[in-house]
Structure 1
Amino acid sequence: MPRVVLVGPPGSGKTTVGRAVADLLGVGFHDTDAAVESAAGRSISDIFVEDGEPAFRALERAEVARALAAEPGVVALGGGAPVDPETEPLLAGHAVVFLDVGIADAARRVGFDRSRPLLAVNPRASWVRLMGERRPVYERVATHVVDTAGRPVEDVAAEVVGLLGAPA
């Protein structure tokens, strides 16, 4: 079972903070989006374009279920993963940290480029809409909420580790 699971919207720092938390804890880091891309042999954007969102979500759902059962370190979920009705209940019993962020910081971090298919058209409005839909789920599944806005990665990672009861 993972030591901690990170959830949040695009640009919240799940991958960057996740790696830093894993380093502080001395455990491995696993990004479910990267695992899906590796298994599929193509980017998430390509999967969306070639196979559609339902195909991507099925791959994501399977990878998240596998990671939650088998990965012992820090696991970062894709932004939409917790919203899946089959995935949300799998998060029960895990230490889940919602990395919260506002649009200004998210835009600076990800630039809203074309590699994010759900943000390809009108990225800022799409991010705000997605966050409005997803925030209640992120808050519901979270054991802890950490605001990442304007904060250095090291500070956010140290707060996450502290919330887990481990020395940073």
Structure 2
Amino acid sequence: MPEKIYGLLGRTLGHSWSVSIHAAVGNQGYRLIELEPEELPAFLARPDIGGLNVTIPYKRDVMAYCDVIDPAAQAIGSVNTLVRRPDGKLYAWNTDISGFLYMARRAGVEMKDRKVMILGSGGTSLTAQAAARACGAREIVVVSRHGADNYDNLSRHGDAEIVVNTTPVGMYPHTGESAADLTRFPACQGVLDVVYNPRRTALLLQAEALGLPCSDGLPMLVFQATAAEEYFFDRKINPAENERILALLRREMENIVLIGMPGCGKSTVGAELAALTGRGAVDLDAEIVKTAGKSIPDIFAQDGEPAFRALEQQAAERFGRESKKILICGGGIVKSPQNYGFLHQNGRIYQLDRCLEKLPTDGRPLSQGADLATMAAERAPLYRRFRDALIDNNGAPQDAAERIWRDFCADTDSQRT
């Protein structure tokens, strides 16, 4: 008898973390299944399908090939979970709605009696609409590219109280993009974004800056996955597993970012962290040298500081969107405010602190002949703006690395609710 197929069905899945989630629940055979639309009929007719999750753009398309659709999923108008049962029929459910409600609940985003504006009109939008109705939203507005409510007339809904993004705008690798400017919605009281890679899309970075309750889509993804596993294998999973898996993924995927004064030991501590965690370390200054084809002192001498800062920003943008990395930043990376979003979107930022008299200046253009006390005073508010935690590095670099890792692990655990 052929081995049954378990996996995620979609068109472009390189960004997906679903395999890690299902493996954490015990489904080691789960895989990514990328198909073109014309391949759907033959694939969905296969008798060896065990269980499938379905993502963009097929959440509605697959319904035509299902034999039995759960009434709740039928009412929503999209499905995300398929199972071939012993009777040979293909059964379908929508576990996304439970995941969406879980995401909103743990973020403290309340939709009852509020105006909910949903960006996007695809299958996930249908789920968000159903969730908003279930929560008793006062009004639900769906914004699409070509509908009556579109991105050119968002001002009509400046009174929106909850903003939900169900589009892939801002998703890896196209990070930094946002479907809406939250300052246009002064009544906004919460933001939900179904994108989970990066951890903080441009929309969520803005929500954080405005002090709004918000969440990325990873809690939704985890919850719907464990609910799907219950259908796959007809078993119950302890609800606590959702928080365990979520913390595990946060710890595995989020970057560790090191900032601080020139010579404070970022490279040395970064190397210790790499040895401690098994992660790859990326030195942004070294990447700038590769790109420019010349040393940093030569960049400053021949092209000036503005040219260096432009290269630094490109490096922060490039590597800040990656996952599972240790990013070692130059001392002046905080001088460009845009770099905060690049580094924070997928990372926890640590400032290393070291006594000024211990800071070397060789090979550091802005440190040579400079008043380090004045430089440190000028940069102090910038470092405070960027950092999530301050780490003393006046002792052994290994000690600083261990403190960072303990804090990083504690932070991912503390995100459980």
Give the TM-score of the pair, scaled to structure 1: 0.87
* Residues 7-62 of structure 1: per-residue CA shift (max 9 Å, x gap): 00011111110111111111100000011011111111000000111111101110
Per-residue deviation at 1:116?
1.0
Q: Write the letter of the residue equivalent to 1:96.
A: I
Residue number in structure 1 paired with 2:381: 136
1:1-12 equivalent positions in 2, closer than 5 A: 2-12=254-264
Per-residue deviation at 1:90?
2.7
Asked whether the 8 Å contact 2:297–2:365 carries over to 1, the reply is yes
Change (3 A) 1:75 1:52: same
Residue number in structure 2 paired with 1:102: 355
* Residues 46-96 of structure 1: per-residue CA shift (max 9 Å, x gap): 000001111111011101111101253100111111220221233334200
In the alignment, structure 1 residue 36 sits paired with structure 2 residue 288: yes
In the alignment, the residues of structure 1 paired with residue 304 and residue 281 of structure 2 have an alpha-carbon distance, to the nearest angstrom, of 28
Change (3 A) 1:60 1:33: same
In the alignment, structure 1 residue 54 sits paired with structure 2 residue 320: no
Query: Larger strand proportion, structure 1 or 2?
Result: 2
Higher relative contact order (Cα pairs below 8 Å, separated by 6+ residues): 1
Q: Any gaps of 5 or more consecutive residues in structure 1?
A: none
Residue number in structure 2 paired with 1:69: 321
Q: Write the letter of the residue equivalent to 1:37.
A: V
Query: Larger helix proportion, structure 1 or 2?
Result: 1
Runs of 4+ aligned structure 1 residues displaced above 2 Å come to 88-94
In the alignment, structure 1 residue 145 sits paired with structure 2 residue 397: no
Asked whether the 8 Å contact 2:353–2:390 carries over to 1, the reply is yes
Per-residue deviation at 1:6?
0.3
Asked whether the 8 Å contact 2:269–2:400 carries over to 1, the reply is yes
Residue number in structure 2 paired with 1:85: 337
Asked whether the 8 Å contact 2:316–2:343 carries over to 1, the reply is no
* Equivalent residue for 2:265, pick from 2, 5, 13: 13
Asked whether the 8 Å contact 1:2–1:68 carries over to 2, the reply is no
Give the TM-score of the pair, scaled to structure 2: 0.36
Q: Any gaps of 5 or more consecutive residues in structure 2?
A: 1-252, 411-417
In the alignment, structure 1 residue 156 sits paired with structure 2 residue 400: yes
Q: Write the letter of the residue equivalent to 1:131.
A: A
In the alignment, the residues of structure 2 paired with residue 161 and residue 24 of structure 1 have an alpha-carbon distance, to the nearest angstrom, of 8
In the alignment, the residues of structure 2 paired with residue 163 and residue 17 of structure 1 have an alpha-carbon distance, to the nearest angstrom, of 15
Q: When the two structures are aligned, how many residues end up with a matched partner?
A: 157
In the alignment, the residues of structure 2 paired with residue 90 and residue 137 of structure 1 have an alpha-carbon distance, to the nearest angstrom, of 15
Q: Write the letter of the residue equivalent to 1:104.
A: E
Deviates more, 1:50-59 or 1:87-96: 87-96
In the alignment, the residues of structure 2 paired with residue 13 and residue 71 of structure 1 have an alpha-carbon distance, to the nearest angstrom, of 23
